[in-house]
Structure formats: structure tokens, C-alpha cells
Structure 1
């Protein structure tokens, strides 16, 4: 998505997993919203959103024009998602009032005359109020802060996560795409930025306001629509005049340092994925929360603008969403790995700019290891709670799957498959099966074996390996005995590489492993001295951790780490289902500095927060067997 954050490249394990910033305070508690029209019998073509922001009273006064066309004959009403803001009037195509009813989370509009496919109409909705958000420690919704007012289009504690409904009436589903324009009126000392390009700025000296009119003409999902207001300084990229940076005026020097590689990232992704797919700007907008890939305007968290390139991985992640997630969008949120897994993998693709070794180290230390240490084992294709949607599985396992797929089919076919997948689904939606089909079309091979185990299967393999060799004529036979000993039900299929080392030469051999117990003999023309499994770190398994069998999972794996209460005042309790033994907890600030630590034994799992200043922190908990997860904690 969305949002995001993860381990800094400069932060060695076992530091905090900064991606926890994108996870809900309570991974199991959720605000349940619903889609107002499950049948979706109309198609929105355009949203024209006009907003006046009143910072003093934290009120939005809005008018939105929704232009749509029926997808069924005799359509006589539509329901639009709208949360908390109060509707004061609805009119039809400028001809006068029509019947409407507002519910807690939606607006139903009834037509005087039924409509048929091919007809178009525009409904004008007037509404106002204080906009909704997920509250302290949350992510999604509209926030009024002392010097910036901004919207985050995805909720991390909310199902479904789409939150376009917080600022305008819409069919708030990722599959429904429409063009969007914003006219945002603010006090004339402030600047408003929104999706697309700036059409005009109009200053009204009578009431000391300025209106900023932004237009995004290509279709986009509603969760990507947003605007932000602050005393922004607008910086233009020195390489590409269509890339901008909207930053606080006191951050200009730091911004010049932190954004210095953005043009190189853009070149990298355009060369491997496709030309930048939007006819409008690309930009980063400084906000107190983040990150979030709003279309053409990434909302970038303020503390990451620090004059260094430490957070290049984060810039790359959000930029890549403009191909994966924003342009090719998951058809349902259950396929969110097609957005977040791709963006996490794109971090490594960016690191590859610096060479193969940089890519290899990033994949291993920043993607594969954090997932393995998490203890999560649920399938990539079936997240069901907020904690699972924004999880190690969605981000790091999703990226690991793409890394392995690239290894299995080779670079040429991998990027050719991505290109075909992109070409066929750009500005529309896609599913995991669509991705699989394009891989099969490019390779000409059945790839179900890969998707069935690595995407739809549980967890990851744990290999128990034994090697023997004996002379055979003038050569040597090396026997590899393998068992998959994981406790999860999936038996994984994968071509496994073994490097057989001799005193003066080596040989790389491959076992096609699709059984729980398997043995294979390889012949080499030299006397072996050792055998190394998976020398290129191509397989997501516990051998990557260098700790024998790796983390010891309880039967069924472990749940998502939870701190309660959260927000907390003087103490909070560690709740981690499946972890019953002793644990160690560490408190970090958002710069990754450890501030406190606790040894937790038996039933005593309370963290004493006396003396901890109010603010947002990260808590990393390490359990028996090498497992560890990170959660965010809000101290009030």
C-alpha cells in the first residue's frame, strides 16, 4: 500500500522492524466498514471533489459531483460510501433535488426516472463536518495537526481498508477506477496539493483564501485519492521537471539530500517495468504519518527527510507502487501482496542498481530473514485480519516469492512476464491467477506447482540434509538425502541447488524436490570435500538463518504480536499467541535507538513504561526458538 516502513539497510538484525509502523496498534481489533453496493450495478466515471478546509474548527465543507453510468437496465438508485460527514443536500444533473437517505456509512440516492446502460448522469452531494480517522496510533483517515492537514486513503485497523469515503462519497472499492479532480480552498498562507497536475490557483482577497484545482485524468482507485495542506515549499527535481517535492520550509536542505537519488530510481523502474504510466506529475509530499502511495503524490513521513539517503528503500517502495498497486491494482484486498509484495521486492530491485552483491544482501537480510524470524505461517493468498493484511507475509514473503520466481524462470522470462502482466492490466485490476497465467504464457510451462505451494501454501520448508560421497571409477558419486521436516502441512516444490566443492574445482548441481523425503546421486569428476546447500540464497527456508533448523515454531505457528493496552499510559502487556516461554522485549524510538529492555518470564509479561515520554515507539519481542516480531506502541 499503502503505507509502509521496514528495517533500515543500515540497521543490522536484530534491530526493530520499521515496517511495523504500517501495522495496526491492535492487529485483531478492527473497525468493520462495508461496501454499500455489493452487486456494484453502476460504474463511476469521474469524481469532482470541492473542499474548503477550516483549520480552526477542524471542519471540511464539501461538494462532490459523481458522474456515473448504469451497468444494469432499470437502475433506479445507487448507494455511495460516505463516513461520518453529514449530507445537507443532493441534486440531480443540476435540475433540482432528488430523494436521498444517509446511513451511518453510506448515502442512498433514488432517481426520479430509471436509467439504462449507456446513460450517464451526475449527482451533486453537499456535505460537511469533522472527518473520520483511525485515532491515535492509527494510519487511515483525515488528520488535522498543528501545521499540516492531510488524508491517508488506506486504513490499517479497518476492514475493508479503502478510505476514500472519509472525504468524498464514492464506490470505495479498489476495482472501481475513475478520473478525479480536487478543488481545495484553504487560508491563503497555505498550499494544497492533490492527485494529478495543478490546473489553477485562484486567490480570493475578500476572505483571504486560495483555491488549488488539481486534475488526475486517468482512472484511479478511490483509496489513492487524497489531498494535503501545509505551508509547503515546492521543489522541482533537477533531472525531471515533472517530479516535485512538497516539503516544510524548514526542511529544504534536508530534502535536497534525502531526495538526491529519486531520478535514478525512476530510471531504474522505467527501464525494468515500463515507462512511468501516468500523464501527470510524480511527487513526494511531507506529512507527519506515512508512507502512503497516493497516486502521483507519495505521502512521505517527515522523520525520513533527514538529509541522508538512509530511507532510499522507502522512497523506492512507494515509487514502485505507481506501477504495482496504483496502475495494476489488486482486484480484492485479499490479493494485496500483488501491491505490497511487489513494492517490497522493488526495494531490492533498486538496490541492484549498486550491484548484484547489494541485491543479494538486501534480499537476505531485509526481506527473507525478517519473514522467517516472524513465525508467521498463514498463506500469502488468504489474509483475513488487519494484522494479516499488513504482515511479514504480505510484504516480505510476497517479495521472497518474486525473488524465487525470478530464479526459477530466469531474468529474461521474469521481466517479460511482468511486462505482459502490466500491459494487460494497466489502469485495471488483476488477481494472483492473472499473474500466474502471464508467467505460463511467457515460459510456455505449467507453473501451478510454484504458486500452489509458495503462494497458497502454509509457511516455508525446513530441510534436513545429509551428504555422502564415494569413489566410482575415475569419478565420485555424491548422495544427497533430503527431508522436509516443517510442521506445517505444505510440501514445497522447488529446484534446489547444491555446490559440491573439491580442492581445485566445484560443481553446481540441481535436485528437483517435490517430495517430503527424497534422495539423489550426482556424479562429479573430482573428490568432494564439502557440499553447500543453496549457495545463492534462492530458497526461502530456515537454512538462511545459519541456525540449524532455524526458529522453532509451536504447532500451527504463532500469532501476530500485540500490546495491550495500546495506546498505553504507565504499562502495557505483551500478548503473543503461541509463545509460552520466556521472552525479551526491547523499546526503540523511531530512529532505531534502543531505550529500554525487559526480560519476561512465566506469566509476567508487563512492560513498565514509567518515565517513557509520550510518543510513538517500536517494541521488538524475541521469543524462544529465535522468533521475533515488532509492534508499534503509542505512549500517552
Structure 2
């Protein structure tokens, strides 16, 4: 009697996968992810699911030493791949084996693993590096800001290149563990939940932070310095951590009076946009000279200058609204910036309305009347502004006008259904302007393409909205517009993202 060998189908499939592909089948991953605004940003050929950053930073010398471990998956048969990074690298390993590497272009680290990676293969990429981030200039620009007692990494559209290797584009989001060893007289602040604080020898302390939901690389932040820290919990049990540089001077009180309302604002935004999407809340104000704020995930960055004229909860509303619009639902490409900024700005208008100041309609009327037809404001297209206008005020204000026009067209019930449904539909993902247009049409049952084309894409001033009463806005005999109540607080945030740059 003889036996026939029967190979189970799963085993057969595994056997076939184990057969090495021809060398000709493997090719390098693209050096960019394909964003026309920033061709060097991101990379092709793989997807990162987790970053483990183990760092040591000495503020006195600005020396940053790091070991970054990236858990990734090959999306093609991969002979070589790039990371976006600028500091000096001493060693790279892929799946435990030493890889060859070299720097190229303005921000590329080219890595050739000892063994090519078949499509679908897991990869543990370990990069060891050191350098002084403040000395790194990419296109004559830096995202690393030194402070009197430390440093801050917080910028848009990128900041990772200066302090950790990454696939530096919102299309490749990942979870993060950020562990930072610093001298005992300073602290290290990052995203998410503080997992532990422990001494290292007698002179150093290690702070370990965790973000357990998908996070874009530019939303990953680091601040080292001397901070006053407040902690609390939301009604749902989420940890709240706010940090204020000890040397904010005259801005200290107004900063606290604004940011300590983070939980209150987040609860209100939850009513509008649905459940808060992350594992922590808070904000931080380091002693920097810049004037902007940024929606760094779970813990927005605020410049002290945002509070130079007193408290301003409106800026807190803006950055917290981004946790839904920009952080949880991120841009597909940087041309889609309106799905971040138009909604965050409109959130400020809704806060004004909620606080009994100017209504969103009154603010829309004022913005419309403030810009005559020949104002360059109307030549910027919020739906595709170009890299040079990515953070132009028109993206914010004209972007918010588009939402008010939508609200008037579909009515409040459908409009607020849209605002809550969108972050649920694309939670932790990416979306385009066109995706929102289609979604709005589906939910409302109305054709809206023409409305969005008028407000987001035409380089001209739209006809006066039916609700606009521009003549009422002019003070009698003054010949100029009368500002709506609360406008100054909203306008004070106009510098909110005046840090965009051309790559």
C-alpha cells in the first residue's frame, strides 16, 4: 500500500510565498509619496504602523541622541527604501541585519536592507543617530526651535525630519512611543499619555509617552524645558495635562486662563463632532519667540504671543477642533488643507455664537464685506490654494465662508449632522476636499458641487450671499465696517499657522 501526500492549501500558499522572487522583481520605493505641493515629503514602498523613539537630549549643547525603531510593512517587492531624515546616522538595521545607507537630496536617508523585502513582509527598521537639530537647515529653514532652557519640535507641514526618521506625510499615520532622557532640571513633553517618569543615574530623568491612535508625523511633538504642569481628568476619565514654561512672564496668567478651559471646550466640541478621538487632552506653552499655534495631536502647541493681549479661548477652540478635523481625519494631500483649516476656523465662529457674541452669520457677513472684489483674498482658492498659499488667511476665512454658505443651503439640522458624521466616517484616516463634497451631497440629498466650486475654487469674489447685509455693517457716517462682537479674539488667531514654508 502506498500513501499520497496531501498538502493543506494554507501550507501550500505559505510554501509558495517562501520561494524567493527574482531579483528583477524587486525595485526601490519612491523617494516621495506623490504630493505635488511637497515632492520630497514621504516615501513610497512601505507603510509604518508604529514608531518607538528612544532619545537623549542635552539642552546646553543641543545634542540629540536617538534610536528609532519603525515597525513597517512592505507594499511592494522592495529592494531599497527611503526615510525622511536630516541628522547624522551611525547604523541602520532591518529585521536585525545591518543595512547599508546613505544620505541623499535635502532630507532623504536611502536604506538598502541585506535581504530585499517581499510585498507584505514585515520590517523592523532600527536607526541610530545623533546631532544638533538646530544646526540642520533644509532649504534654509528649521523646524527645531531652541528655547532658553530647552527646545521644541512643532511645525507644519513637517517637523519630524529634524528629530526622528519617518515616512513624513499624513498619508502614513502610526502609533507612537516617545521616551526621552533629559537632565533632572528640565522635563520632556510629548503627545498622548505619560506612561512613566523614572530616574537614570543621579543626573537624568526619562519621560515615556504613548499615543495609541494613528498620528501623522508632523503632529508628533517634543518639548524640553522647565514647565509648570497641571493635571486633571475629564468626566470620561481621560487624562488632561497642560504645561507652561516657567518664564512666560506677563503672558503666564492669560495663557493659563485660556488653556485651563481645554476640558470645557473639548466637551462642547464633542457635542458638535462626536466622541473625542484620542487618549489624552491638554496643551503646552513653551517660551518660544514664534507667534503661531499648532494642533499637535492630543497636546496642542501654543506660542506665548497668542496670549499677549489677554486670554483667548478662541485659539484653544481652533486647535482642539483640529483633533477631529486634521488629526483624526487628516488630509490626503496638502492641497486638501481646507478640510483642516476651514472647519477649525468655523469652529471659532460657532464658539462665538455659543458664547452670545457675534453669530456665525454675522461673522460671515463681516468677512465678506471686508474684502472688496479686487482684494487678492478672493484669488486664493481654499480647495487647492497652492503650496505658497497653503496658510493664507483666505484658506481660513474664505474656507469658513464656504461652510456658512453650505449651512444656509442645507439648513441647520443637516449641516450639524454633516459636521458630526464626517469625523465618524473617516476616523483615523485621510480624506480629500472632493470626499467632503460627495459626502455632503449624499447626506443632504442636494446637488452641491456648484456651491463648493464657487466658494472653494473660483478665483473671484462670489456674488453677495442672500443672507449678507453688508450695508448694515457700516457704522453710520464712518465709511468703515463695524466689527462684530468678539471679532478681535478671532482675528488675534490670524497668525495661528504663519509658519508654512516652501520646500
Report the TM-score when normalising by structure 1.
0.63
2:218 matched to which residue of 1? Answer: 223
The runs of 5 or more residues in structure 2 that have no matched partner are 1-36, 480-490
Contact 2:242–2:260 (8 Å) recurs in 1:
no
- Which of residues 292, 300, 303 is equivalent to 1:301? 303
The runs of 5 or more residues in structure 1 that have no matched partner are 1-30, 155-160, 464-495, 498-533, 552-591, 594-617, 619-630
After superposition, the CA RMSD in angstroms is 3.0
In the TM superposition, residue 235 of structure 1 has moved relative to its aligned partner by 0.8
Contact 1:369–1:544 (8 Å) recurs in 2:
no
- Which of residues 179, 203, 206 is equivalent to 1:211? 206
In the TM superposition, residue 179 of structure 1 has moved relative to its aligned partner by 0.7
1:286 matched to which residue of 2? Answer: 286
| d(CA) in 1 for partners of 2:319, 2:130 | 31
Contact 1:43–1:176 (8 Å) recurs in 2:
yes
Contact 1:140–1:151 (8 Å) recurs in 2:
no
1:408 matched to which residue of 2? Answer: 409
Mapping for residues 366-445 of structure 1, pairs under 5 Å: 367-369=367-369, 374-376=375-377, 377-386=379-388, 388-445=389-446
2:41 matched to which residue of 1? Answer: 35
Contact 2:85–2:161 (8 Å) recurs in 1:
yes
| d(CA) in 1 for partners of 2:310, 2:144 | 29
In the TM superposition, residue 243 of structure 1 has moved relative to its aligned partner by 2.0
Residues 130-170 of structure 1: CA distance to partner in whole angstroms, max 9, x if unpaired?
A: 215898xx99611112124100231xxxxxx3232221111
| d(CA) in 2 for partners of 1:266, 1:383 | 29
In the TM superposition, residue 324 of structure 1 has moved relative to its aligned partner by 0.4
Contact 1:45–1:177 (8 Å) recurs in 2:
yes
Mapping for residues 110-125 of structure 1, pairs under 5 Å: 110-125=112-127
Contact 2:239–2:279 (8 Å) recurs in 1:
no
2:83 matched to which residue of 1? Answer: 80
Mapping for residues 242-257 of structure 1, pairs under 5 Å: 242-249=239-246, 253-257=253-257
| d(CA) in 2 for partners of 1:349, 1:297 | 22
1:506 matched to which residue of 2? Answer: none
Contact 2:54–2:179 (8 Å) recurs in 1:
yes
CA distance change for structure 1 residues 426 and 287 in 2, over 3 Å: closer, same or farther?
A: farther
Report the TM-score when normalising by structure 2.
0.79
| d(CA) in 2 for partners of 1:447, 1:355 | 30
| d(CA) in 1 for partners of 2:171, 2:134 | 23
1:173 matched to which residue of 2? Answer: 169
CA distance change for structure 1 residues 32 and 435 in 2, over 3 Å: closer, same or farther?
A: closer
CA distance change for structure 1 residues 238 and 362 in 2, over 3 Å: closer, same or farther?
A: farther
- Which of residues 21, 26, 51 is equivalent to 1:47? 51
1:184 matched to which residue of 2? Answer: 180
Q: How many residues align?
A: 434
2:60 is aligned with 1:56: yes
3-state DSSP class of the match of 2:116? strand
Residues 210-260 of structure 1: CA distance to partner in whole angstroms, max 9, x if unpaired?
A: 111111111111110110011111112486562221012356654443335
CA distance change for structure 1 residues 379 and 396 in 2, over 3 Å: closer, same or farther?
A: same
CA distance change for structure 1 residues 112 and 238 in 2, over 3 Å: closer, same or farther?
A: closer
CA distance change for structure 1 residues 360 and 453 in 2, over 3 Å: closer, same or farther?
A: closer
Residues 402-435 of structure 1: CA distance to partner in whole angstroms, max 9, x if unpaired?
A: 1111111111111112222211211110011110
CA distance change for structure 1 residues 176 and 399 in 2, over 3 Å: closer, same or farther?
A: same
- Would you tell me which structure has more strand in proportion to its own residues? 1
1:328 matched to which residue of 2? Answer: 329
In the TM superposition, residue 176 of structure 1 has moved relative to its aligned partner by 0.9
2:145 is aligned with 1:149: no
3-state DSSP class of the match of 1:304? helix
1:486 matched to which residue of 2? Answer: none
Residues 266-300 of structure 1: CA distance to partner in whole angstroms, max 9, x if unpaired?
A: 12210011111102333334342331111111111
Residues 144-202 of structure 1: CA distance to partner in whole angstroms, max 9, x if unpaired?
A: 12124100231xxxxxx323222111111111111111111111110101011111112
| d(CA) in 1 for partners of 2:131, 2:448 | 52
| d(CA) in 1 for partners of 2:54, 2:401 | 42
3-state DSSP class of the match of 1:113? coil
| d(CA) in 2 for partners of 1:54, 1:216 | 24
In the TM superposition, residue 333 of structure 1 has moved relative to its aligned partner by 0.5
Contact 2:174–2:214 (8 Å) recurs in 1:
yes
1:129 matched to which residue of 2? Answer: 131
Q: Which structure would you say has the larger Rg?
A: 1
2:356 is aligned with 1:350: no
3-state DSSP class of the match of 1:49? strand
- Would you tell me which structure has more helix in proportion to its own residues? 2
Contact 1:150–1:287 (8 Å) recurs in 2:
no
In the TM superposition, residue 353 of structure 1 has moved relative to its aligned partner by 1.5
2:270 matched to which residue of 1? Answer: 270
| d(CA) in 2 for partners of 1:33, 1:122 | 26
In the TM superposition, residue 307 of structure 1 has moved relative to its aligned partner by 9.3
In the TM superposition, residue 35 of structure 1 has moved relative to its aligned partner by 2.9
- Which of residues 54, 67, 71 is equivalent to 1:67? 71
Contact 1:371–1:393 (8 Å) recurs in 2:
no
| d(CA) in 2 for partners of 1:272, 1:317 | 14
In the TM superposition, residue 358 of structure 1 has moved relative to its aligned partner by 4.3
Contact 2:169–2:217 (8 Å) recurs in 1:
yes
| d(CA) in 2 for partners of 1:226, 1:302 | 17
